[in-house]
Amino acid sequence: MTIFEILKQRKSVRAYLDKPVEKEKINAIFDAARYAPSGVNTQPWQVAVVTGDSKLALQSKIEAAFRAGNKGQADYTYYPTQWIEPYKARRKDCGLLMYQTLKIERSDKQRQLDQWAANYRAFDAPVMLLFFMDKNMQTGSYMDYGMFLQSVMLAAVELGLATCPQASLADYPEIINTELGYSDDSILLCGMALGYEDKNAMVNSYRTVREEASSFIDCFD
């Protein structure tokens, strides 16, 4: 595949096969992603690869906290506190598309809750990736990290794997830091599901709409 094909093929996958990901493939992904650019070569990424019993124990504690009504508190603010257009409409359309695909009615609060809880299990993917950064790093490092995360996802596609980047997995840093032994001096930026896509799962059948390039490009000749 060309890089153009990989960019267009990548999508957020929310259902996975019960099939382990080979350690060789995980290592290959990060061996490639480490070449992502960063300001003055800071390379601010720190990654936890969580699988097997460790993943089951961690996700159980996170999901239990969520179902108990504990909404958690991320280390930083991901979304705007007040939504404006066109972002408000795009956010609404994104959520509606998934629920319509799964035939989850607005009145069915239990199914909505269960679907959201799947976030905290990394959608039952065999691998949960968690991404940390030292707290003393600043805004530029968030930009660096975005390029690193994209590199991880594109490398995964090249190896026949699927991913879903997840801000939701940063909702419970205290639980995750305690379980995995990370210091409070670290920021938990996000998580990511990694595995083999279940291509028969309905939730994986839809694609979000992207704006045409001409809508966000200004040309100055």
Instruction: Say which DSSP state 22 is in.
Output: P
Q: Which residues of 26-54 are buried (b: 16+ CB within 10 A; e: fewer)?
A: beebbebbeebebeeeeebbeebbbbeee
Cα separation of the two ends of the chain: 33
Confidence (pLDDT) at 28: 98
* Domain boundaries 3-202, corresponding CATH code: 3.40.109.10
- Per domain, the residue ranges of the chain are 3-202
- Which ranges in 132-214 belong to alpha helices (H)? 139-158, 173-180
Confidence (pLDDT) at 122: 98
Q: 57-96, pLDDT tens digit by residue?
A: 999 999 999 999 999 999 999 999 999 999 999 999 999 9
**Cis peptide before 86, with omega less than 30 degrees from 0?**
yes
Distance CA 219, CA 198 (A): 41
Query: Model-level pTM?
Result: 0.96
- Mean pLDDT value of segment 24-41: 98
CB 105 within 8 A of CB 216: no
Confidence (pLDDT) at 218: 96
Q: 7-18, pLDDT tens digit by residue?
A: 999 999 999 999
Express as a percent the part of the chain with pLDDT over 90: 97
Confidence (pLDDT) at 127: 98
Residue 118 predicted with pLDDT over 90:
yes
Give 106's pLDDT tier (boundaries 50, 70, 90). Answer: confident
